[in-house]
Amino acid sequence: MGSVFGTLFRISTWGESHGGGVGVVVDGCPPRIDLSESDIQFDLDRRRPGQSEITTPRKEADQAEILSGTFEGQTLGSPIAILVRNKDARPEAYTEMSEKFRPSHADYTYQAKFGIRNWQGGGRSSARETIGRVAAAAIAKKVLVKEYAPDLEIIAHVKSIREIEASVSADDLDFDTVEGNIVRTGDPEAAEKMIELIKEMRKEGNSVGGVVECVVRNVPPGWGMPVFDRLEADLAKAMLSLPATKGFEVGSGFEGTQLTGREHNDAFRMEGDRVRTKSNRSGGVQGGISNGENIVFRVAFKPTATIMTEQETVGLDGEDTILKGRGRHDPCVLPRAVPIVEAMTALVLCDHAMRQRAQCGGS
């Protein structure tokens, strides 16, 4: 329970940070999609630790193996199983954690729920779990582009690190620019300041959070559902299912509550034979369904819980104690969160595209 996502394009992720490995099974993928391991590896490499001087120095190759579901380079329509072996494990780095709960981690709640936990490196609550999501999403993107939305673009970037904010519009956001700096922001000027701040935090043994923004272009009108499975509801769930997230907003979001209806409404107008809106405070969704404008949303990530400081906590036997942070961790998860936000977006969209075709036909 809890590790299955999607109705039609359905994924099951599995694995702890320490143990045999992590992976995913994708059930429901359309047949005859070209797929090889290199398609998956690209995004896994954007996600993996050790890729730059502002991420954790842990080195993990995170090499994906496709175990099933393809034949002669194409998907079969049967489940696609992907395995990434765990390497570079140092369980001895975690022995203190076997007896103490790390503040603002999942140690205590896992223990309270299950009465057992794999205390080596976070176990199932480790961000390493997201490997399965990213691998599955690489397939979802191929399905979306081939079958449903040939010009689809999903681009996330770091909108802010603490108080440093990127200045770039949803229309101008550009993948190459984002990938052109190690913090993955769409604003090269802000990038330098963000990098500076993260390095400073690391030096202090401290950590910092921020906001990831995601823009989706060229989604056809009509994806999404009334009522519970509104497109923004499923996106919100997808984003809040990521480790370290504390908030989600779409379009005008929380700031939109400062406007009156007259200021906030998006007037319609024709542009050729397309119905367009003059503004996009709706963020590309109205009544839970895409309207053809850019889908724009933002996700808040808290500062990394692991810090190199003494912290008050309690132990397994119910005694107050002190924990000294150790290990190799990201002082800021946002640069590596960018491809993960894109991945969850692709998974939500692919599932809704298939649901739309099932119910309403068309492509």
DSSP 296: E
Contacts (CB under 8 A) with a second copy, residues 42-61: none
* Least Cβ distance, residue 122 to a second copy (angstroms): 9
Kindly write out the interface string for residues 262-291 of this chain, putting x where it contacts a second copy by CB under 8 A and - elsewhere.
xxxxxxxxx--x-x-xx--xxx-xxxxxxx
Asked if 224 and 236 count as a contact pair (C-beta separation under 8 A), the reply is no
Number of residues that bind a second copy (CB under 8 A): 157
* Least Cβ distance, residue 21 to a second copy (angstroms): 5
φ, ψ for residue 274, nearest 5 deg: -100, 140
φ, ψ for residue 277, nearest 5 deg: -110, 150
| CA distance linking residue 150 with residue 135, whole number of Å | 20
| CA distance linking residue 363 with residue 358, whole number of Å | 10
Q: E strand or H helix at 134, and its extent?
A: helix 130-143
Q: Mark residue 235 as left, alpha or beta (left: phi above 0; alpha: psi -120 to 50; beta: remaining).
A: alpha
Asked if 332 and 315 count as a contact pair (C-beta separation under 8 A), the reply is no
What does the angle CA 48 – CA 25 – CA 45 come to, to the nearest 5 degrees?
15
Contacts (CB under 8 A) with a second copy, residues 180-209: 201, 206-209
* Least Cβ distance, residue 80 to a second copy (angstroms): 7
Of 191 and 285, nearer to a second copy (C-beta) is 285
> Which range of residues in 42-50, 56-64, 185-193, 304-312 is near a second copy by CB under 8 A?
304-312
Of 175 and 328, nearer to a second copy (C-beta) is 328
Three-state SS at 96: helix
Of 176 and 317, nearer to a second copy (C-beta) is 317
Of 117 and 141, nearer to a second copy (C-beta) is 117
> Which range of residues in 47-55, 76-84, 149-157, 181-189 is near a second copy by CB under 8 A?
76-84
Q: Which of 162, 193, 199, 328 binds a second copy (CB under 8 A)?
A: 162
Question: Does 327 engage in binding with a second copy (CB under 8 A)?
Answer: no
Question: Does 114 engage in binding with a second copy (CB under 8 A)?
Answer: yes
Q: Which of 92, 151, 176, 320 binds a second copy (CB under 8 A)?
A: 320
Q: Which of 21, 153, 193, 218 binds a second copy (CB under 8 A)?
A: 21
| CA distance linking residue 87 with residue 131, whole number of Å | 14
Kindly write out the interface string for residues 222-251 of this chain, putting x where it contacts a second copy by CB under 8 A and - elsewhere.
xxxxxxxxx-xxxxxxxxxx-x-xxxxxxx
Asked if 314 and 101 count as a contact pair (C-beta separation under 8 A), the reply is yes
Q: Which of 58, 124, 184, 336 binds a second copy (CB under 8 A)?
A: 124
* Least Cβ distance, residue 318 to a second copy (angstroms): 6
Q: Which of 38, 92, 151, 254 binds a second copy (CB under 8 A)?
A: 254
Tokens representing 35 are: 């797929």
Does the CA dihedral 349-355-358-362 come out positive or negative?
Answer: negative
Asked if 217 and 151 count as a contact pair (C-beta separation under 8 A), the reply is yes
Question: Does 92 engage in binding with a second copy (CB under 8 A)?
Answer: no
